[in-house]
Structure 1
Amino acid sequence: MEKNLIVLCILIAASFVYLKLAHKFNIVDKPNERSSHTKVTIRGGGIIFPIAILLFFFLNDFQYPFFVLGLFLISFVSFLDDIYTLSSRVRFPFQIIAIFLILYQAAFPIFPLYYSILCLILGVAVINMFNFMDGINGITGIYSLVVLSGMYFINLNEHFVNTDLIVFTALSLVVFGFYNFRKKALFFAGDIGSIALGMLFFFIGFLFMDTLNSPMFLLLILIYAADTALTMLYRIVYTNESILDPHRHHMYQKLVDVYKISHLKVSIGYGLLQLMVNFIILKTYKLELSIQLMVFFSLILLFITLYIVLFRLLVKKVKVNNA
Structure 2
Amino acid sequence: MNYLLLLAILILSSYMYYTLAEKYNLKATLTTRSLHKKPTVVGIGILFVIAIFYFFFTNSYQFPYLTGAIALIASISLLDDFFKLSAFFRIFIHVIVTVLVFYQLFNGIHLNALFIVFLLLGIGSVNTYNFMDGVNGMLGFNAIITIATFLTINYFETLVPQNLLVYVLVALLVFGFFNFRKHALAFSGDVGSTVMGIFVFFLMLLFSFKLNALIFLAMILVFFIDTFCTFCYRLFVTKENLFLAHKHHLYEKSVETLGVSHLKIAFIYAFLQLVINCIVYYSYKLSTEYQVLILLGISSLGVLGYFYFFQKLKKLHL
> What range is the shorter-chain TM-score in?
over 0.9
Match of 1:36 in 2: 35
Aligned to 2:102: 103
Kindly state the Cα deviation for residue 109 of structure 1 after the two structures are TM-superposed: 5.0
* Residue pair 2:10, 2:47 contacting (<8 A) in 1 also: yes
Measure the CA separation in 2 of the matches of 1:251 and 1:162.
36
Query: Within 1, Cα distance between the matches of 2:160 and 2:125?
Result: 19
1:58 equivalent in structure 2: 57
Identify which range, 237-246 or 136-145, moves more after superposition. 237-246
**Per the alignment, in what secondary structure is the counterpart of residue 221 of structure 2?**
helix
Structure 1 residue aligned with 2:254: 255
Provide Cα deviations, 1:79-130, integer angstroms capped at 9, x if missing partner.
0001111111222222111111110011255224332222222111110110
Partner of 1:290: 289
Whole-Å Cα distance in 2 between the matches of residues 103 and 96 of structure 1?
11
Instruction: State the one-letter code of the partner of 2:139.
Output: T
Aligned to 2:158: 159
Alpha-carbon distance in structure 1 between the residues aligned to 2:312 and 2:88: 37
1:231 aligns with: 230
2:201 and 2:293 mapped to 1: Cα distance?
A: 23
Deviations 1:142-186 (A, max 9, x none): 011011111111111111112111111111110001001111111
The code of the aligned residue for 1:230 comes to C
- The AA in structure 1 aligned to 2:77 is S
Question: Is 1:184 aligned to residue 183 of structure 2?
Answer: yes
User: What letter is aligned with 1:113?
Assistant: N
Distance 1:90 1:109, change over 3 A: closer
- 1:160 match: secondary structure: coil
- 1:201 CA drift (Å): 0.4
With over 3 angstroms needed to count, the CA separation of the structure-2 counterparts of 1:60 and 1:269, relative to structure 1, is: same
Aligned to 1:91: 90
Q: CA deviation at 1:254?
A: 0.7
Alpha-carbon shift at residue 24 of structure 1 (Å): 2.2
Instruction: Report the counterpart of residue 5 of structure 2 in structure 1.
Output: 6
CA distance in 1, matches of 2:286, 2:108: 26
Task: Report the secondary structure of 2:239's partner residue.
Answer: coil
The root-mean-square deviation of aligned C-alpha atoms, in Å, is 1.1
TM-fit CA distance, 1:137: 0.6
2:301 is matched by which residue type in structure 1? Answer: L
**2:148 alignment partner in structure 1:** 149
What is the one-letter code of the residue matched to 2:202?
Answer: F
Give the whole-Å Cα distance in 1 for the aligned partners of 2:138 and 2:182.
12
Aligned partners of 1:187, 1:88: CA distance in 2, in Å? 24
SS of residue matched to 1:106: helix
Report runs of 4+ in structure 1 exceeding 6 Å deviation: none
Structure 1: gaps spanning 5 or more residues = none
User: Does the CA contact (< 8 Å) of 2:178 and 2:186 recur in 1?
Assistant: yes
Structure 2 counterpart of 1:17: 16
Spell out, residue by residue over 1:207-226, the C-alpha distance to the aligned partner (whole angstroms, 9 max, x if none): 11110111111111110011
1:309 matched to which residue of 2? 308
Measure the CA separation in 2 of the matches of 1:109 and 1:58. 23
Q: Could you tell me which amino acid in structure 1 is paired with residue 312 of structure 2?
A: L
Aligned to 1:300: 299
Amino acid at match of 1:103: F
* TM superposition shift of 1:132: 0.5
Query: What secondary structure does 2:45 align onto?
Result: helix
Distance 1:279 1:285 in 2: 10
Give SS of 1:185's match.
Answer: coil
Q: Which residue of 1 aligns with 2:44?
A: 45
- Greater shift, 19-28 or 121-130, is seen at 19-28
Q: TM-score, normalised to structure 1's length?
A: 0.96
Cα distance in 2 between the residues matched to 1:119 and 1:288: 21
Cα offsets for 1:213-240 (capped at 9, x unmatched): 1111111111001100001011111113
> Counterparts of 1:19 and 1:107 in 2: how far apart (Å)?
38
Report sequence identity in percent: 38
Question: Secondary structure of the equivalent of 1:119?
Answer: helix
Q: 1:93 to 1:112 in 2, by over 3 A?
A: closer
Unaligned runs of 5+ in 2: none
CA distance in 2, matches of 1:97, 1:315: 39
Letter in 2 for 1:5: L
How far, CA to CA, are the matches of 2:315 and 2:23 in structure 1?
A: 46
Distance between the aligned counterparts of 2:153 and 2:310, measured in 1?
Answer: 33
Residues matched between the structures, number: 318
Match of 1:210 in 2: 209
User: 8 Å contact 2:99–2:109 — kept in the other structure?
Assistant: no
